[in-house]
Amino acid sequence: MIDNKTLSDIYDRHHHELFVYICGFTRMPEVAEDFLHDAFVRLIRYSQKYPLDPDNIRAFLYRTARNICIDHARRNRKLDISPLKDNIESAGSVPEDDLELRELRSKVNSLVDDRDQVSRSVYLMRTELEMPFQDIAEALGISERTAKRKMSSMLEYLADSLEKAGFKLFIFFLLSLLAILIVIYK
Amino acid sequence: MKRHITNRELARYIAGAMSNRKRTSVAEHLTQCDRCRARHEKMLAVIAPRYFSLRASDAAKVRVMRSRDKLAEGEDAYAPGGIRSILSLHPRAFIAASLALVTAVAVTAALLLRPPAGEARLHLAAVIADAGVTINDHPVRDRDKVFEQSAIILPDKTTMRLEYGRGFSITLIGPAIFSIDRLMSRGPSEPVVVECTLAQGLLVSASDGTGKKVAYTYNTPDARVEPVGTEFLLQSAGGTTLVVMKTGSVRVKPERSAESVAVSSGNRCMVAEKTEISKADPEDLKIFGSMEQLRAGAFGHRLLKPEPLGKDTELEHKRFKGRLIDHKQIHGNSKRKLQLETPDNRDKERGKSLRRDKIISPVKPGMREKDRINKNKKLIRNAQKAIRQKRRTSR
């Protein structure tokens, strides 16, 4: 079984990236902390049965965290439980009061949720943790090429969807303007 | 690059999944094209890291280390506390304890809700019942339960047999008005007390002493008959009570006399103005041989002349211990109708005293039978109406 010092080292080394990764799935820091704990408990249990390979610990933790998040999402789907709003504050350089950006991010969140788990993982690791594709590939157990392809695909999907949304908004704006003009000049 | 950047190119550029040559070309375009630069900046803003600044609390590490210690000691890291811990650790014991608790509650409730032995509600079984026979205005079917406070009306040429166990039976032959006034037992070792009233008609009572001991009594308008393990015939008609003994003996107490007389086997007793006991003719005892012949009226010459139901009889109701009410006295109706009234059911509706669901007679009565049934129903309805009127006027 893993000893206290090793566990403490592993925790210190990986807990932040794992926490951010889980937050990307759950969008609730309190829940993410619970899942982080669960992921480490599974690691401890695994170490009770099998010897740990230091090279695989990170991949193990990511895989476990992802599985826990997937289980949570399934349960929530059954129970119809979902966070009422994205309660995690923006950490970027963009001002908070930018309403349009908030809406766009909310839209991106829902778009990301629609994609498969591997694509979501790649996207979160790349955007939130700025991990190199090699590390992403190792952590997720996929090839680097696949990781790049998944990321490109995700971004293209986001760009297309946002463009369509913008086009719809533009058409709506035009129609509203037209309606106002008709009312005025009638 | 002279054209605008496509979404795919922008995605690959941001993702870093682009060749160096292409990447340089896109970067050059972005410096020159405001529109594409705006798109690029918008995309970067949208996917900017949002959660990186978040930190897990220090308590999370403590929790993980504590879980490690628990697992090292062989405990479950998620072991719940309180009653949930018992459920998770010993689920079978918990289920068994729950079942035992539920059983204990059910048994206690059953014991508490059980009626006292002295008030156990007994019943007679209607073994045979012809179509047209009614109990409290309900048609009877075979094997129905007949409780106390039941008024039984048998039209002409009908029969009904009531039994308690195998040792005691009453065979009623119509036309007859009969009621079970009391049917109870004080305890398991005490005899069953049966008190019946034969207002008019004919019955054959038999008790062979087997089975549970039954202490039974018959009341007629003229006499009270207390048999002691016997078989005999009892008839009441036209102000006369006839007792024909087959076996055993009965004690007959005429209403008009203070002294009671014992009638032994092979004798017959006629209670009218006077009480006469005579030796029964051997032909009289043949009555007990065939109930069918008795019902058909084959022994009419040896018995009293039966009275039809609903006709004015000469019963002396006042002497009948208040059980019969003369409705002529109540509301001046020319037709005299009989309503059996006992202290216990005085305040009850008669139809409710028979504790059973609505009965559907298995025998479809013919038109004549229907007429008889309707006649009986009408008779009881009128009597009940008269009682209600009387109560109203008395208030």
φ/ψ (deg, to 5) at A144:
-65, -40
The per-residue pLDDT for B192 is 83
Comparing B322 with A170, the larger pLDDT belongs to A170
| A158 and chain B in contact, CB less than 8 A | yes
Pick from A120, A156, A163 the residue to mutate for testing the B interface (most B CBs within 10 Å). Answer: A156
| B35 and chain A in contact, CB less than 8 A | no
Say whether pLDDT at B105 is over 90: yes
Comparing B221 with B105, the larger pLDDT belongs to B105
> What is the tens place of the pLDDT at every residue in B275-289?
888 888 888 888 887
φ/ψ (deg, to 5) at B124:
-100, 155
Cβ-Cβ contacts under 8 Å for A129 (sequence gap 6 or more): A17, A20, A21, B49, B52
Comparing B166 with B116, the larger pLDDT belongs to B166
- Using the beta-carbon criterion (under 8 Å), do A155 and B47 form an inter-chain contact? yes
| B352 and chain A in contact, CB less than 8 A | no
Three-state DSSP class for B112?
A: helix
- Residue B180: pLDDT band by 50, 70, 90 thresholds? confident
> What is the tens place of the pLDDT at every residue in B383-395?
778 888 877 887 6
Distances A104 to A165, B7, B134, B184, B216 between C-alpha atoms, Å: 10, 17, 85, 86, 96
Which residues between 16 and 55 in chain A have a beta carbon less than 8 angstroms from any beta carbon of chain B?
16, 19-20, 23-24, 29, 32-33, 36-37, 40-41, 44-45, 48
Comparing B341 with A121, the larger pLDDT belongs to A121
Q: How far away is chain A from the Cα of B77, in angstroms, using its nearest Cα?
A: 8
Mean pLDDT of chain A: 81
| A151 and chain B in contact, CB less than 8 A | yes
- Neighbouring CB atoms inside 10 A of B281's CB total 12
Pick from B46, B62, B78 the residue to mutate for testing the A interface (most A CBs within 10 Å). Answer: B46
With CA atoms as reference, the chain A residue closest to B63 would be A37
Say whether pLDDT at A92 is over 60: no
CA distance linking residue A119 with residue B10, whole number of Å: 18
Q: How far away is chain B from the Cα of A42, in angstroms, using its nearest Cα?
A: 10
The per-residue pLDDT for B103 is 93
Say whether pLDDT at A59 is over 70: yes
- Using the beta-carbon criterion (under 8 Å), do A152 and B72 form an inter-chain contact? no
- Residue B84: pLDDT band by 50, 70, 90 thresholds? low
Which residues between 229 and 268 in chain B have a beta carbon less than 8 angstroms from any beta carbon of chain A?
none
Say whether pLDDT at B353 is over 50: no
pTM here is 0.43
Q: Let me know: does B129 contact B140? Beta carbons within 8 Å.
A: yes
Mean pLDDT of chain B: 76
- Using the beta-carbon criterion (under 8 Å), do A4 and B55 form an inter-chain contact? no
Instruction: For residues B187-216, give the mean pLDDT.
Output: 82
Range name among B188-197, B344-353, B370-379 with the lowest pLDDT average? B344-353
Say whether pLDDT at B346 is over 60: no
- Residue B99: pLDDT band by 50, 70, 90 thresholds? very high
Percent of chain B with pLDDT strictly greater than 70: 78
CA distance linking residue B137 with residue B381, whole number of Å: 9
- Using the beta-carbon criterion (under 8 Å), do B54 and A91 form an inter-chain contact? yes
| A118 and chain B in contact, CB less than 8 A | no
Three-state DSSP class for B267?
A: strand
With CA atoms as reference, the chain A residue closest to B55 would be A16
Instruction: For residues A96-119, give the mean pLDDT.
Output: 76
Question: Which of B8, B50, B67 is opposite residue A92, by nearest beta carbon?
Answer: B50
- Residue A58: pLDDT band by 50, 70, 90 thresholds? confident
- Which of A141-150, B89-98, B280-289, B293-302 has the highest mean predicted lDDT (pLDDT)? A141-150
- Residue A98: pLDDT band by 50, 70, 90 thresholds? low
CA distance linking residue A69 with residue A60, whole number of Å: 14
Task: Output the CA angle B154-B158-B159, nearest 5 degrees.
Answer: 85
Say whether pLDDT at B101 is over 90: yes
Say whether pLDDT at B102 is over 90: yes
| A122 and chain B in contact, CB less than 8 A | no
- Of the candidates A117, A159, A150, which has an alpha carbon nearest to the alpha carbon of residue B45? A159
Q: Let me know: does B14 contact B45? Beta carbons within 8 Å.
A: no
Instruction: For residues A85-106, give the mean pLDDT.
Output: 58
CA distance linking residue B218 with residue B226, whole number of Å: 7
Q: Which two tokens stand for residue B9?
A: 């190119």
The per-residue pLDDT for A117 is 84
- Using the beta-carbon criterion (under 8 Å), do B77 and A11 form an inter-chain contact? no
> What is the tens place of the pLDDT at every residue in B232-245?
888 888 788 888 88
Instruction: For residues B218-235, give the mean pLDDT.
Output: 82
> What is the tens place of the pLDDT at every residue in B120-172?
578 888 888 888 888 888 888 777 888 888 888 888 888 888 888 877 888 88
CA distance linking residue B252 with residue B222, whole number of Å: 10
> What is the tens place of the pLDDT at every residue in B30-78?
888 888 888 888 888 878 888 888 888 888 888 888 888 888 887 665 6
Pick from A152, A164, A167 the residue to mutate for testing the B interface (most B CBs within 10 Å). Answer: A152
- Residue B269: pLDDT band by 50, 70, 90 thresholds? confident
Q: Let me know: does A135 contact A122? Beta carbons within 8 Å.
A: no
| A115 and chain B in contact, CB less than 8 A | no
Comparing A162 with B10, the larger pLDDT belongs to B10
- Using the beta-carbon criterion (under 8 Å), do B56 and A104 form an inter-chain contact? no
Which residues between 54 and 93 in chain B have a beta carbon less than 8 angstroms from any beta carbon of chain A?
54-57, 60-61, 63-65, 67-69, 71-72, 77-78
Find chain B residues with C-beta within 8 A of A23's C-beta.
51, 54
- Of the candidates B172, B178, B135, which has an alpha carbon nearest to the alpha carbon of residue B157? B172
